[in-house]
Structure 1
């Protein structure tokens, strides 16, 4: 049985070796100027070092260029694509057609992964972008299991599914936090506050904390719970899903590493010894629960027609 790729999000170059030891097959990195909601910021020198480290450990490196681009950044894309091709990145993750067209002109050999966060909800869309040049489609987080399996059955491209981590509920290109402090007359607090990673919108009625942060791409509001389906991988493995992603945004490096170890164990068991996986999956789930920060529960997201926000 084919093993799905285990794709993870390192926080730094030094973190990559730990993730390799934990069993990761691939990493996704980038810088916020071009990529959305990354676990760590990677400058050009960091990207080059990350590619060298990952390739030495047998891992693929995907670089995020899935931000929402306005005219002021379009002229920069060719230079960044040429740089990524030059250092040997294995694929570019994109959502904007400007990236696809730039890659065609600048580095036509480069692999492309289509990722728009929300609009990859049917196989026609996946295949459309596949015929335009994408090798992989990253499915929306709001799909249930039946929809995912149906898409995979009809897809002409690889399919990537997030199996663990936060979900982005809302993004605005506007500086909502900065504008809020400016409106209050607290101008001196804007730069200090708006980039913090420990701010929350608090729902007193349900006792939910929604992480909120701001970066160059605007304002992001994240889900109050972490998605976790470590005990529900069987159907997707049997369907041949190509990549399982652990999204570590706003989590520590140690947390991402330990979760990676658990999913490595789950994937190996599920593909090599299904009966043992069925016996051990509750223990794996309990191990994830033990790693969770006190304010973050885990749930199964939309996989079984639940809602998490």
Structure 2
């Protein structure tokens, strides 16, 4: 039974080595100029350092270029892709075809991961992008387990699935929060990291808080719960899902580290002895529940249509 890659989103360059020691196989990093909803900001120097550290330990680094690009950003794509090629990045995630076209000319050997957040819902579409040059498809978050299994059984390219973390509910290219504060006569500086935590939409009727933040790509509203399927990995592993993603956006490094350790243990045990995984998976879930912020309940996302928003 092949082990899926354990893909983690670090908060900073200082997280790379500890997360490798915790069991991460690969990292998704980037800068908000090109990538959406990143756990941390990685300028070029940090991406280069991350690649050096990861490759020294036999791990991989992918870079997020999954923003929706307007005309003014297009001239920057070839140079950025050439830089990523020069430092031996292992792949780039993209949603906008502009990245694919730029890569054909500027970085023809770059491995491309198609990631649109919403339209990766069937295997025909995954294979369409595979025939255009993508080597991996990142599936939509709002499809159930049966659909995921069927897609993998018919896919011609690698398949990546999120197994833990927040889900994105809404994105606007507009700075909705910033505009609101300015309308009130207040200035709210949207910084790359430090001031984007702690803002919520509060549904008083349901007692629910929806985390939100702004970056260069606009306004993002996230799910009120974290998805967690550490006790539902067996079918995904048996069908051959290629990559399991832990999304650390708006979580602390300490939390991401512990979750990575637990998923590493779950994957290893399930691949080596599925019966032993059945025996221990409840305990692994309980351990995550122990470190889970009280304000963020766990559920299984859309795997079984449990999440409602």
Equivalent position of 1:205 in the other structure: 205
Q: Please show how residues 97-108 of structure 1 align to structure 2 within 5 Å.
A: 97-108=97-108
SS at match of 1:214: strand
Distance in 1 of aligned mates of 2:190 and 2:97: 32
Residue of structure 2 in register with 1:147 after alignment:
147
* Structure 2 SS opposite 1:284: helix
CA distance in structure 2 between the aligned counterparts of 1:191 and 1:78, rounded to whole angstroms: 27
Does 2:286 correspond to 1:286?
yes
Find the counterpart in structure 1 of residue 78 from structure 2. Answer: 78
8 Å contact 1:9–1:27 — kept in the other structure?
yes
List per-residue Cα deviations over 1:134-153 (Å, max 9, x = no partner): 00000000010000000001
SS of 1:271 mapped into structure 2: helix
| Alpha-carbon separation, structure 1, partners of 2:194 and 2:286 | 35
TM-score (norm 1): 0.98
**Hey, what does 2:57 align to over in structure 1?**
57
Query: Secondary structure at the residue paired with 2:108?
Result: coil
**CA distance in structure 2 between the partners assigned to 1:191 and 1:277 by the alignment:** 44
- Please list the CA deviations of residues 128-184 of structure 1 after superposition, one character each: whole Å capped at 9, or x if unmatched: 000000000000000100000000011000000000000000000000001101111
Instruction: Kindly state the Cα deviation for residue 207 of structure 1 after the two structures are TM-superposed.
Output: 1.1
Q: Structure 2 regions of 5+ residues with no counterpart?
A: none
Contact 2:299 2:307 in 1 (8 A): no
State how far apart, in whole Å, the 1-side matches of 2:124 and 2:134 are: 13
Cα contact 2:190–2:214 (8 A) shared by 1: no
**What is the TM-score when the length of structure 2 is the normalising length?**
0.98
1:121 aligns with 121
**2:165 alignment counterpart:** 165
SS of equivalent residue, structure 2 residue 36:
coil
Secondary structure, counterpart of 2:268 in structure 1: helix
Partner of 1:11: 11
Displacement of 1:194 in angstroms is 10
3-state SS in 2 of match to 1:212: strand
* Residues in 1 aligned to 2:91 and 2:133: alpha-carbon distance in whole angstroms: 12
8 Å CA contact retained: 2:29, 2:61: yes
Instruction: Give the equivalent residue in structure 2 for 1:95.
Output: 95
What is the SS of the residue equivalent to 2:197?
coil
1:211 positional shift:
0.3
The answer (yes or no) to whether the contact 2:190–2:215 under 8 Å persists in 1 is no
Once the 2 structures are TM-superposed, how far is the Cα of residue 191 of structure 1 from its aligned partner?
4.9
Distance in 2 of aligned mates of 1:25 and 1:122: 26
Q: Residues 191 and 246 (structure 1 numbering): CA distance in 2 closer, same or farther, change over 3 Å?
A: closer
User: Is 2:204 aligned against 1:223?
Assistant: no
RMSD between aligned residues: 1.3
Partner of 1:175 in structure 2?
175
**Aligned-partner SS, 1:6:** strand
**Equivalent residue number for residue 247 of structure 1:** 247
Q: Secondary structure of 2:275's match? A: helix
Say whether the 8 Å CA contact 1:163–1:228 is kept in structure 2.
yes
Could you report, residue by residue, the CA deviation over 1:53-106 in whole angstroms, capped at 9, with x for unpaired residues? Answer: 111111110000000100010000000000000000000100010000110001
- SS where residue 35 of structure 1 aligns? coil
Q: 1:49 to 1:194 in 2, by over 3 A?
A: closer
How far apart are the structure 1 equivalents of 2:260 and 2:147? 26
